[in-house]
């Protein structure tokens, strides 16, 4: 039965707890979508919106580290406890370990958060002394048994420390695996990445490179706003700065890096179509496509439309066909194009089958963009949950689909036409191996240029691009 209390807005912490519970129960939902739904339904001040997002994304990003710490301080296996208590405990631990919230606040506010949701009947167990006692006792014990250290006070071999953006935290008694026995598991818990992927990365990266990569993935990246041609980047930056947004130019016009901006769709200039959001690396890769006056363009994996928009904004494209595997994805592309005031009479959209072998398009194109679905290993700082969907066998499956997409695109390319293959992955199996495998079987194609970006090497995410040309 609905009550007045149940209709009242949820606080930032309780909203984060509910959002994380929905995400943990679901096998398919994305934390960003669930968080957006909560924020639409609850009017929060800008700081509270940002805090709720920080809790949601932080707990997802550091999931296996938080679980390892919790397991050390509960009396039974963690899986024996109700989901709402496990998630509340994770939020409390995240605040203490990663945000350095004072111990008394991390404990009391976590209890208040859980009670707020319990009073609304949204937890599996009622609001009584037992769950409160568990949260209170476990969190207090963690706070007593751990200490915050600076960056130089520990190293990757220490079996009692975990790494955070603010430095190391020593958790006495956690007893991580020894580096000479299971280095991939040690680093997987210390830096909160899947151990099996850490094992894969260790095979091709030095330990120094790997640690830099893992640290980069745990930082909160800025949002990059690409200012549309004809709009003033300087004027937009000044307006954003006046509104209290942390703004800096990203080293190249017309891209502005912003931090602490909150909801992007509430920023000045968004509704007027003055900018779109696109990572620097993604934009660089898109612009590998040569500018060609009057070109016909096929975008095979268009959603959300960033690379297509970058090419339309640069100019030269006369007609474009944007394809993707669902109406919802294509609607997102159309909405972005409409907001940015691109004329839609020369742009078509087409829903296509998920199997590239079933692609049926009657005409050919001067330029084709294949921004292939991938493992996202170049954007793990931005795709908060992507790391937990990573398995080595998934990358092999993706590589087969990527090769099929590239072969399908080749069949639709005009002579002397250009095909740009891109991913936001840093895995050779999804990048060079796919492209060079198709090249070996396709003598009509030649490689013009390849570009690879590793996360943290420069502003922007990691990614890969290969520009191919069909011989005349």
pLDDT digits (tens, 9 = 90+) for 220-240: 999 999 999 999 999 999 999
Instruction: State residue 2's pLDDT score.
Output: 38
The dotted CATH code for 4-176 is 1.10.940.10
- Please name which of 19, 78, 21, 25 lies closest in space to residue 51, comparing C-alpha atoms: 19
Give every CB contact of residue 80 below 8 A, 6+ residues apart in sequence. Answer: none
Instruction: State residue 243's pLDDT score.
Output: 86
Instruction: State residue 174's pLDDT score.
Output: 93
What pLDDT, in 10s, does the model give residues 41-80?
Answer: 888 887 898 899 999 999 999 999 999 999 999 999 999 9
- Please name which of 153, 195, 158, 200 lies closest in space to residue 65, comparing C-alpha atoms: 195
Instruction: State residue 7's pLDDT score.
Output: 59
- Compute the mean pLDDT over every residue in the chain, rounded to the nearest whole number: 93
pTM, 2 dp: 0.93
What pLDDT, in 10s, does the model give residues 272-314?
Answer: 999 999 999 999 999 999 999 999 999 999 999 999 999 999 9
What CATH architecture is 223-277? 2-Layer Sandwich (3.30)
Tokens 């829903």 correspond to 351
CA 192 – CA 186 distance, rounded (Å): 10
Domains 223-277 and 280-470 share a fold: no
Percent of the chain with pLDDT over 70: 98
The catalytically annotated residue of 56, 323, 374, 424 is 424
Instruction: State residue 59's pLDDT score.
Output: 98
Beta carbons within 10 angstroms of residue 326's beta carbon: 12
What pLDDT, in 10s, does the model give residues 359-414?
Answer: 999 999 999 999 999 999 999 999 989 999 998 999 999 999 999 999 999 999 99
Mean pLDDT of 313-326: 96
Instruction: State residue 5's pLDDT score.
Output: 44
- Please name which of 104, 94, 230 lies closest in space to residue 169, comparing C-alpha atoms: 94
Fold exhibited by the domain 280-470: Rossmann fold (3.40.50)
Residue 445 has which token pair?
């194609």
Show me where the domains of the chain are located: 4-176, 223-277, 280-470
Mean pLDDT of 176-191: 95
**pLDDT band for position 260 (50/70/90)?**
confident
Q: Does the active-site annotation cover 424? A: yes
């Amino acid at each position: 039965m609905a009550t007045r209390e149940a209709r009242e807005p949820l606080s930032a912490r309780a909203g984060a707890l509910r959002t994380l519970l929905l995400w943990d129960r679901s096998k398919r939902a994305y934390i960003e979508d669930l968080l957006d739904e909560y924020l639409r339904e609850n009017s929060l001040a800008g700081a509270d919106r940002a805090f709720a997002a920080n809790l949601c994304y932080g707990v997802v990003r550091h999931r296996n580290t938080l679980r390892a710490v919790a397991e050390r301080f509960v009396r039974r296996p963690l899986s024996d406890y109700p989901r709402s208590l496990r998630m509340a405990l994770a939020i409390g631990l995240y605040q203490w370990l990663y945000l350095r919230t004072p111990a008394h606040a991390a404990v009391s506010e976590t209890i208040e958060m859980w009670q707020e949701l319990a009073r609304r009947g949204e937890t599996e167990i009622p609001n009584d002394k037992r769950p409160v006692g568990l949260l209170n006792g476990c969190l207090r014990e963690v706070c007593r048994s751990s200490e915050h250290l600076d960056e130089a006070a520990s190293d990757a071999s220490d079996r009692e420390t975990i790494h955070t953006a603010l430095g190391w935290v020593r958790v006495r008694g956690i007893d991580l695996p020894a580096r000479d026995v299971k280095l991939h598991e040690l680093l997987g818990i210390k830096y909160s990445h899947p151990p099996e992927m850490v094992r894969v990365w260790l095979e091709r990266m030095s330990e120094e490179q790997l640690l830099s990569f893992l640290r980069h993935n745990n930082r909160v990246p800025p949002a990059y706003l690409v200012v549309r041609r004809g709009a003033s980047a300087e004027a937009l930056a000044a307006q954003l700065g006046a509104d209290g947004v942390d703004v800096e130019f990203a080293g190249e016009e017309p891209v502005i890096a912003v931090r602490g901006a909150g909801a992007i769709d509430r920023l000045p200039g968004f509704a007027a179509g003055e900018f779109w959001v696109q990572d620097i690396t993604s934009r660089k890769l898109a612009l590998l496509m040569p500018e060609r006056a009057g070109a016909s363009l096929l975008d095979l994996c268009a959603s959300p439309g960033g690379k297509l928009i970058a090419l339309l904004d640069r100019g030269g494209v006369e007609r474009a066909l944007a394809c993707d595997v669902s109406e919802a994805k294509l609607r997102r592309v159309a909405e972005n194009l409409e907001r940015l005031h691109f004329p839609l009479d020369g742009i078509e959209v087409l829903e296509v089958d998920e199997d590239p072998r079933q692609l049926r398009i009657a005409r050919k194109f001067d330029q084709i963009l294949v921004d292939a679905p991938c493992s996202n290993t170049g954007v793990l700082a931005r795709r908060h949950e992507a790391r937990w969907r990573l398995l080595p066998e998934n990358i092999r499956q993706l590589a087969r689909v990527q090769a099929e997409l590239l072969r399908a695109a080749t069949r639709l390319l005009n002579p002397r036409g250009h095909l740009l293959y891109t991913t936001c992955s840093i895995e050779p199996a999804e990048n060079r191996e796919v492209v060079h495998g198709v090249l070996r079987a396709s003598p009509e194609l030649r490689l013009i240029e390849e570009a690879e970006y590793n996360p943290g090497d420069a502003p922007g995410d990691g990614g890969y691009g290969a520009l191919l040309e069909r011989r005349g």
